[in-house]
Chain A
Amino acid sequence: MKVLTLNFLTCAVKTCKASSDSFPLHPKDAELASDDVELNPQLLVNLLPRIDWNALRTTSTELGFPQLPEQPPTAEELQADEKMLKDLHTLLMETQLMEGKLVCGHCGHEYAVREGIANFLLPSHLV
């Protein structure tokens, strides 16, 4: 799964949804892979308002990528900034989480990621 996906996912446990600690999930023992994907500036601009920037900064640091700026760029700034486009593209669209775990910062539940597919099914006592 692309790193972008991590920005869309919280803990699946209903009682965790209210806690800000349940998002983003924290990668653990992560194995990353990199794909060659064609850069689509239109996609990144479209994504900008949907990305939770603070969560993305956390994820980026946790995966060992350079620190992102504190404030997200505006759509105009992003379009004009080739380096920013390239960096975001590499992080969100080209980097894949292949193996490891995603851990909820609130309840500590670990979701296994195998061959790029995370498993969010819950045992009955958490449903």
Chain B
Amino acid sequence: MDYLIRFSQSHETFRLPEIEALAVIEGIDMKVVSYSLESPFCIVSLPSSAAAKQLIQRSILAMSVHELWGSGGDLSTVHSHVRETTSHLWERYMTCSFKFSIDSYQGSRTADEKVSIINSFAYLGFAGPIRMRGADEEFTLFEDWEWNSTPLGIPDPKYYYFGRYLGSGARDLPKKLDLKKRRYISTTSMDAELALVTANLALAAPGKIMYDPFVGTGSFPIACAQFGAVAFGSDIDGRSIRGDEKNRTLKGNFEQYGLLGRLGGMFTADLTNSPIRRVPLRYDGDGVTGRLFDGIVCDPPYGVREGLRVLGVRDPEKCPWVIPKGKEMYKDPDFIPPRKPYSFLAMLDSILQFSAETLVDHGRLSFWMPTANDENQEIPVPTHPYLEIVSICTQSFNKWSRRLITYRRIPDVEVDPRAMKAREERISIGKTADELNPFRKAYFSKFEA
């Protein structure tokens, strides 16, 4: 049967990838019948109403799901469609309490018009009591209007859908994890809504192990833990994890949401010198041995608001004393190891390589990367022979945008050895932050070519 998903009309490019990810998590066979970025109404084909409810329950961007009874370009088409396809269902709803409502997108109706439209469904013959609150069944007529229809005086919507309400998404979760009410955040904490969407795309679920190598104040691990996963994280700057070592700490955030049991472990580490156990990539592995994570989620530093640094000395010839001094001092508890700027593209490559080595088969990597909107300065989507791109979602700002890219770790046997051979290390030889990071350079020159 066909079902209607009522999306919120925001973060449009994230909506379908999120629902598709949820179908994978729940193991539901879903086919998209019609979908458009310009409309909040999406029609999908699903095996059952129970599956539809299950599919939507943890969606952040879908508001509700409805059993589709009819649709059409005008009301009479909707009525004949409803009569044709659902007359055998009407009897079930004869005596229960019910509610009718109209959901107009980009348009509006007067109260009188609404009543007369609702009354045109009288042929359904429902005899139960009408309840505007807590009705057993809710029926909704969705109207898809042209943009700006009220000022333009357009009399009717371009399309109608009529359906029976089944269930809602998890639109309350972003409020629960709202950054404004979180005890401890920093300048680059990911907002709750997008962190939750990221966790959905990475298939976070009960019993799974997730990891964030750029954990900061813990936005992603919190979102993953909210969906039941056990979350690990690390950051090159331990201060972001420790916070003020009293109330405002990463651990305190987990405590605030009652998720402490799912906080696996946090540690200070650099991705290019990671302590995580790994085995070299191979072509005939069993898909499990030596691999730890079901999902990796991260928002790596772009080098703009947050510096992009790894362990090492930037210019050992200029400051020859740094290494011997470190050798002498490193056992001091207050010793802070030197760090050097690192190439943004090399960092992206390190993330992909690390993910290929540590994700289980079909495990997912979801990470954010920025790019300029100008085609000439666009940073290409990084690729890896062991990772297949699942989806690319874009959040657009004025002159730049950031993308959420999701990959799937493919089983070893599906990897093309030639692609792996052809993959050359793209290690940049620059030294300053600008030389190493084309995005940073473009950002600070205001994206002017």
A contact set with B: CB distance below 8 Å: 1-2, 4-5, 7-14, 17, 23, 35-38, 40, 42-43, 45-47, 49-50, 52, 93, 110-112, 115-127
- On whether the beta carbons of B337 and A121 are closer than 8 Å, the reply is yes
Mark out the residues of chain B between 316 and 349 whose CB falls within 8 Å of any chain A CB in the assembled complex: 316, 322-324, 326-327, 329-331, 333, 335-338
Contact of B327 among A17, A46, A123 (CB under 8 A): A123
What are 28 A-to-B residue pairs whose CB atoms are below 8 Å?
Answer: A2-B263, A5-B265, A8-B276, A10-B276, A10-B277, A11-B275, A12-B273, A12-B275, A13-B273, A40-B207, A43-B206, A46-B209, A49-B288, A52-B277, A110-B331, A116-B251, A117-B266, A118-B265, A120-B270, A121-B269, A121-B311, A122-B311, A122-B337, A123-B327, A124-B322, A125-B323, A125-B327, A127-B337
CB-CB nearest in chain A for B277: A10
CB-CB nearest in chain A for B249: A115
Mark out the residues of chain B between 355 and 371 whose CB falls within 8 Å of any chain A CB in the assembled complex: 360
Please indicate the chain A residues that have their CB under 8 angstroms from the CB of B232 in the complex. Answer: 5, 8
Please indicate the chain B residues that have their CB under 8 angstroms from the CB of A2 in the complex. Answer: 263-265
Contact of B209 among A14, A50, A125 (CB under 8 A): A50
Further 11 A-B residue pairs, CB within 8 A, beyond A8-B265, A12-B274, A23-B277: A1-B265, A4-B230, A9-B275, A9-B276, A13-B273, A111-B275, A117-B241, A117-B267, A119-B268, A120-B268, A123-B330
Min CB gap A16→B, angstroms = 10
Contact of A122 among B245, B260, B273 (CB under 8 A): B273
- On whether the beta carbons of B238 and A47 are closer than 8 Å, the reply is no
CB-CB nearest in chain A for B262: A37
- On whether the beta carbons of B206 and A42 are closer than 8 Å, the reply is yes
CB-CB nearest in chain A for B313: A124
Q: Mark B227-262, 1 if CB is under 8 A from A, else 0.
A: 000101010101001100100000100000000110
Please indicate the chain A residues that have their CB under 8 angstroms from the CB of B324 in the complex. Answer: 125
- On whether the beta carbons of B268 and A118 are closer than 8 Å, the reply is yes
Min CB gap A68→B, angstroms = 18
A1-B267, A8-B292 are contacts. A127–B209 as well, Cβ < 8 Å? Answer: no
CA distance A45 to B208 in the complex (A): 10
- On whether the beta carbons of B238 and A5 are closer than 8 Å, the reply is no
CB-CB nearest in chain B for A51: B292
Min CB gap A116→B, angstroms = 7
- On whether the beta carbons of A14 and B273 are closer than 8 Å, the reply is yes
Which has the most chain B C-beta neighbours within 10 Å: A7, A9, A23, A52? A9
Please indicate the chain A residues that have their CB under 8 angstroms from the CB of B323 in the complex. Answer: 124-125
CB-CB nearest in chain A for B228: A40
Min CB gap A5→B, angstroms = 3
CA distance A93 to B230 in the complex (A): 10
A5-B264, A43-B206, A43-B207 are contacts. A121–B251 as well, Cβ < 8 Å? Answer: no
- On whether the beta carbons of B245 and A115 are closer than 8 Å, the reply is yes
Contact of B269 among A112, A120, A125 (CB under 8 A): A120
Please indicate the chain A residues that have their CB under 8 angstroms from the CB of B53 in the complex. Answer: none
CA distance A125 to B321 in the complex (A): 11
CB-CB nearest in chain A for B250: A117
CA distance A17 to B273 in the complex (A): 11
Min CB gap B229→A, angstroms = 9
CA distance A13 to B311 in the complex (A): 12
- On whether the beta carbons of B238 and A119 are closer than 8 Å, the reply is yes
A4-B264, A10-B275, A124-B337 are contacts. A47–B322 as well, Cβ < 8 Å? Answer: no
Mark out the residues of chain B between 290 and 320 whose CB falls within 8 Å of any chain A CB in the assembled complex: 291-292, 294, 311-313, 316
